[in-house]
Chains A and B, each alone.
Chain A
Amino acid sequence: MAYEEGFSIEKNSVEGAKMSASQDRATTANLTYDELAGLKAERELVLLIGPAHPGSGHMKIKVWMDGDIIQRVDPDIGFVHRTTEKLSENRLYIKAIPIVERVMLPDTINANLAYVIALERLLGIEPTPRAQYLRTLTSEINRITSHLYGIGLYGIFLGSSTVYMWAFADREPLIDLLEEISGARITYSYIIPGGVRWDLPAGFKERAETVLQYMEARLKDYEKIWVKNPVVMDRTEGVGIVSKSDAIRLGITGPNLRASGVDYDTRRAKPYAAYPNLDFNVPTFSEGDCYARLLQRVEEIEQSIRIIRQVLKDIPDGRIISDDIYSKMNPLQKRMYEMKHRVMFPAYMASMRPAAGRSTASVEAGRGEIFFYLVSNGDKVPFRFRWVTPSFLNLPFFTHVMVGQHLADLPAIYGSSDYFPPEADR
């Protein structure tokens, strides 16, 4: 049937389903195997969910159904493909920072950090210890806001508006902290080659401690209304199970991988920033169901709070920008740095020409591992700019997990993966 793609039921109409139902009632005993298979194919129904649908985000999910049971899932991505790789290959190195941030908007610091680490490896610059700690601090605060974003949207998917309201309210104090450091609400562009752009403002540690205490108190409330909620547990326990071997085979990453029992965290496996000096656990769950993925994020928030406390306690004094960059500043910029602890971009930033070569970087973002691959041929712009985002790696998850589940469980599974389409489409 030549329906336009979009808002119709493909392949088999409602009449087809009715017909096959009436055939079911008739005897099927004397049908051949092929006829039975044909009957099954006739019963199949294709649903198109999204992109204008609260349960899909910026993507379309094609679902083949047999009755209420999902037979096959085909996520139709590319609705937010903004060609960041090609754009970055035509921009100066420093101008790629805002572009990678726009792609991972709830989690901008980690995207920024991954790119800058790859760029630093290309340039051969090493950031100062204080800058490393500041990077870790902002990265962890951003991880909490990213997880709260995921928890809030999962609340919407499970029909619990209360949790959405709570999570988005509790995100705000943490965003305020980052705003205080960097001056922006969501898109910070805080991390630059050689260090960071601003130092901690006066009295930041006390305010951060207040927010952390508030967050810890709130996590206990979340336990009552969200984590131990019987409705939430009924809808998520035993739903969408990914076994350990499947998680590895499918290449799932981040909290979804750890919720399946794989003890892998980029922060520990390939340490960067100040993580080698910090003491933290990597929580894992063996169940691999939606409930484990939900708990995983709550546990990670607790660990992030622990890391932030250590960073605020141990942060060393010193410059926030490496000597390589500091020596390239003009006298006015140096005076500005001494007065306000603020890095103004030296002219060098606009004319960086890394030596020919290639570099990679991996960073554990809120949704999993970001991987960067840069190739320079000695020009002002990258010769090749390639990055793999965690949401894209988590995409095979849908096709694998949703098969055999009820249609009503689709939002529960989709929400549990904390999938962010702009991140996957780049």
Chain B
Amino acid sequence: MGGGADGVAYFGNLEKVSKKAVSFLKKQGYVKSMINWGDKFSLWPVHLMTSCCGTEFAAASGPRFDLERLGFLPFGGPRQTNLIVIEGTTTLKMARSVRIVWEQMPAPKWVIAMGACAMDGGIFYDSYNTVPARDIVPVDIFLAGCPPRPEALARAVVMLQESIVKNRPPAADIQVTAAPATSGSKDVVEAVSK
């Protein structure tokens, strides 16, 4: 510590200290845990009802089960959300929409496959018009039941929260790949690539 001639007091080298502080915070993992904590309690599922488990999803958002206490708030636009709950069967026609919505969502994003149909076809396993969820998007949590009770959905959300904290790779290791341009005209694609 020293004093300057013009009355300014210096407390060490500010640049050095700030670098030290940043490396300390990184090393201790406070920044990462802060981001994880934020993501953990802001899992906003997009309002995309793929099938009949949507009724139990609605009940789970209702007052008795009230998943909003876990930060689980259904939201309209895919751009503001970070979670898809695939509610049951996905038909070939719906699969395309699921994929488009998933591509529209900003990273980081998670997927819960709800119900036996989303896991492996369930009761509709031999239908000619259904696709398992894992063939459309990468799934983080599989949730059994036909349909799963709202408590089970709450459990899946808690499990996802735990996995966000435990298993999440450091920010540098998360690979964000550009979504393939399946939708939109040529002009749009060109405009984006510029």
Residues of B within 8 A of A422 (CB): 51-52
Residues of B within 8 A of A6 (CB): 97, 100, 183
Per-residue CB contact flags for chain A residues 74-117 toward chain B (1 = under 8 Å, else 0) read: 00001111110011001000000011001101100000000000
Among B50, B93, B129, B182: residue with most chain A CB under 10 A: B93
Is the CB–CB distance between A105 and B123 below 8 Å? Answer: no
Is the CB–CB distance between A51 and B48 below 8 Å? Answer: yes
How many whole Å from B174's CB to the nearest CB in chain A?
25
The answer to the question of B127 belonging to the interface, with a C-beta cut-off of 8 Å to chain A, is yes
Residues of A within 8 A of B158 (CB): none
* Closest chain A residue to B52, Cβ basis: A105
Residues of A within 8 A of B52 (CB): 80, 102-103, 105, 422
Residues of A within 8 A of B100 (CB): 6-7, 52
Given contacts A58-B49, A82-B89, A105-B147, contact A186 B55 (CB under 8 A): yes
Is the CB–CB distance between B126 and A51 below 8 Å? Answer: no
Label chain A's interface by main secondary structure.
loop
Q: Which chain B residues numbered 166 to 186 have a C-beta less than 8 Å away from chain A?
A: 182-185
Pick the interface stretch among B7-15, B18-26, B35-43, B57-65.
B57-65
Given contacts A6-B183, A105-B147, contact A52 B47 (CB under 8 A): yes
Is the CB–CB distance between A81 and B129 below 8 Å? Answer: yes
Residues of B within 8 A of A187 (CB): 146-147
Measured in the bound complex, the distance between the Cα atoms of B91 and A1 in whole Å is 28
Among A82, A103, A149, A168: residue with most chain B CB under 10 A: A82
How many whole Å from A410's CB to the nearest CB in chain B?
15
Measured in the bound complex, the distance between the Cα atoms of B130 and A152 in whole Å is 29
Is the CB–CB distance between A52 and B101 below 8 Å? Answer: yes
Residues of A within 8 A of B55 (CB): 105-106, 149, 186
Is the CB–CB distance between B183 and A52 below 8 Å? Answer: no
Is the CB–CB distance between B93 and A81 below 8 Å? Answer: yes
Residues of A within 8 A of B93 (CB): 78-79, 81
The answer to the question of A3 belonging to the interface, with a C-beta cut-off of 8 Å to chain B, is yes
Per-residue CB contact flags for chain B residues 70-82 toward chain A (1 = under 8 Å, else 0) read: 0000001010000
The answer to the question of B140 belonging to the interface, with a C-beta cut-off of 8 Å to chain A, is no
Per-residue CB contact flags for chain A residues 1-36 toward chain B (1 = under 8 Å, else 0) read: 111101110000000000000000000000000000
Is the CB–CB distance between B62 and A58 below 8 Å? Answer: no
* Closest chain B residue to A106, Cβ basis: B55
Residues of B within 8 A of A105 (CB): 52, 55, 147
Is the CB–CB distance between A83 and B76 below 8 Å? Answer: no
The answer to the question of A135 belonging to the interface, with a C-beta cut-off of 8 Å to chain B, is no
Measured in the bound complex, the distance between the Cα atoms of B55 and A422 in whole Å is 11
How many whole Å from A117's CB to the nearest CB in chain B?
22
Is the CB–CB distance between B76 and A53 below 8 Å? Answer: yes
Given contacts A52-B48, A90-B126, contact A79 B97 (CB under 8 A): yes
Measured in the bound complex, the distance between the Cα atoms of B123 and A86 in whole Å is 13
Is the CB–CB distance between A4 and B183 below 8 Å? Answer: yes
* Closest chain A residue to B55, Cβ basis: A105
- Chain A, interface size category, equals 35 or more
How many whole Å from A208's CB to the nearest CB in chain B?
19
Is the CB–CB distance between A57 and B127 below 8 Å? Answer: no
How many whole Å from B62's CB to the nearest CB in chain A?
3
The answer to the question of B149 belonging to the interface, with a C-beta cut-off of 8 Å to chain A, is yes
Measured in the bound complex, the distance between the Cα atoms of B51 and A186 in whole Å is 15
How many whole Å from B47's CB to the nearest CB in chain A?
5
How many whole Å from B67's CB to the nearest CB in chain A?
12
The answer to the question of A336 belonging to the interface, with a C-beta cut-off of 8 Å to chain B, is no
Q: Which chain A residues numbered 141 to 176 have a C-beta less than 8 Å away from chain B?
A: 149, 152-153, 164-165, 168-169, 171-172
Is the CB–CB distance between A172 and B94 below 8 Å? Answer: no
Is the CB–CB distance between A58 and B147 below 8 Å? Answer: no
Given contacts A4-B183, A187-B146, contact A82 B129 (CB under 8 A): yes
How many whole Å from B111's CB to the nearest CB in chain A?
14
Is the CB–CB distance between B51 and A168 below 8 Å? Answer: no
Is the CB–CB distance between B91 and A87 below 8 Å? Answer: no
Given contacts A3-B185, A81-B91, contact A98 B51 (CB under 8 A): no
Is the CB–CB distance between B91 and A79 below 8 Å? Answer: yes
Is the CB–CB distance between A98 and B123 below 8 Å? Answer: yes
Measured in the bound complex, the distance between the Cα atoms of B89 and A151 in whole Å is 25
Is the CB–CB distance between A80 and B48 below 8 Å? Answer: no
The answer to the question of B124 belonging to the interface, with a C-beta cut-off of 8 Å to chain A, is yes
Is the CB–CB distance between A86 and B59 below 8 Å? Answer: no
Sample 16 A-B pairs with CB under 8 A, ordered by A number: A51-B94, A52-B46, A52-B48, A53-B76, A54-B47, A58-B51, A80-B50, A80-B94, A86-B127, A105-B52, A152-B62, A153-B58, A168-B59, A172-B59, A172-B62, A172-B64
Question: Which 6 A-B pairs have CB atoms at the shortest separation, nearest pair first?
Answer: A168-B62, A105-B52, A169-B63, A52-B48, A83-B127, A79-B94
A interface, CB within 8 angstroms of B: 1-4, 6-8, 51-54, 57-58, 78-83, 86-87, 90, 98-99, 102-103, 105-106, 149, 152-153, 164-165, 168-169, 171-172, 185-187, 422
Q: A52-B48, A82-B130, A186-B56 are in contact. List 6 more A-B contacts (CB 8 A).
A: A1-B185, A51-B49, A54-B47, A81-B91, A82-B124, A164-B62
